Chain A
């Protein structure tokens, strides 16, 4: 794993005002594979994720110490649009943009000047196929994205995230608002995608991490308690707190 990390978080501390929600976290994301981040609500998982593509900057009171590097470059030195295209984000609640299904996926490419219809068609079909949505919507691409069901919208959100051809795909509790069938389909999609990109998956569902994460990190109260190969962590965690959490003693 060492030497093949795409994203590194080094001594990352995040504060909102004087409340530290992430404390001194050092964690790496392998280049190909799924990193699962688990932990109870309020443990700083989502804040950690927003530091990767710097959407944390949207919080006026947020302060970030330490650093995050992507492929060796400090993300603070990167141009924002470029960074966010390389580090894609899927949020907990599906957000279909108020435009057609086609335009939802073509949006990000258009914003960087892709105009040729054939090229856009290709991107739209590829991303919707990757997100396991193509077969359901291929005959109604001009329908409003917001009219899709919740589960479909979440896959649309995923397709849209893939439209920038990202190096890292971040998912923040993607299954919180969708049905189990869609959840399983997206998990299958992630297993496919991990050969092409690094995936960071924040989740509340321990079994989800166990099913698909290659490496799992356990966070509690803003601290990284421990991380390791998913198989190892779930079988014998070194830290008592991890054991207690995995055993369902709190959460």
Chain B
């Protein structure tokens, strides 16, 4: 009887050509994505570098912020990020741990999961309004580093939870089963085996959120950042200047600010964020070198 005939085989060169077209398209898309990043950083460095000096980093702004340094904004950003971390890291990591290791796959766990993923997509200005209502007014913390930091913390929480959970889930399940078979309790298994191996992933997630906290303007706009406050904060109850807010103010609110000063401030902000990111990359490399399977 007649079997199905292979009537046509695509010539080899057709397949090769398609392969190289796909490869080029992918490379082009990558280049297109990388280009703006390089352009932005390059542009800011070129225009802002002349403003940089030791004094710029360590002095108070003067003459209605049109001259002098930006020290309080740098210090304020560090305070805000610090407070937000003190809140979001413990809460986020513990919640991620619960969702990954204890909650199971029930309906409730899935709903919580969904809620958290959605929360991560809420625009930062909405977080800002929440912070204003919850921390500034309802809890009566006023416009302060505490309110601003907590608002940033709430904003970064969903991503920290999600990345912690993902990092824990990436540790092979076999390891847990092996520990349980040896009579280790759930917590002993997490503490001695799962957590040490998930740490690089957890830290990467956390530090990327640090960068985001440092860069976001909206969440601190109503909650903690001051327009012009040429003193250093002394406690979490103080208001403070912040780099992101300062760039916004210099560019849109204050007349007669030199280009150099605007770009210089932006450069410092990018520098702070890059510093955190390179710290994250370094830490990740270090911990990965000790990766154990």
Binding site for B on A (CB under 8 A): 53, 55, 58, 60, 80-85, 88-89, 91, 93, 95-99, 107-108, 111-112, 144, 146, 157, 160-161, 163-164
Contact = CB atoms under 8 A, between A and B. Distances in A.
Interface stretch (B12-20, B65-73, B175-183, B247-255): B175-183
Given A60-B104, A98-B175, A98-B193, A146 B293 contact: yes
Contacts of A55: 177, 180-181
Contacts of A88: 181-182
Contact of A82 (B180, B181, B183): B183
A81 B196 CA distance: 22
Contacts of A95: 174-175, 177-178
Given A84-B180, A161-B182, A93 B292 contact: no
Nearest to B184: A111
Given A108-B184, A111-B183, A99 B292 contact: yes
B185 interface: yes
Contacts, number: 71
Contacts of B185: 80-81, 111
A111 B292 contact: no
Contacts of A111: 182-185, 188, 192
A84 B179 CA distance: 10
Given A58-B177, A97-B175, A160 B182 contact: yes
A108 B197 contact: no
A107 B182 contact: yes
A208 B184 CA distance: 31
A146 B197 CA distance: 13
Interface residues of B, number: 20
A112 B293 CA distance: 25
Interface in B25-53: none
A1 B255 CA distance: 98
Contact of A89 (B105, B181, B188, B197): B181
Interface in B153-188: 174-175, 177-185, 188
Interface string B70-105: 000000000000000000000000000000000011
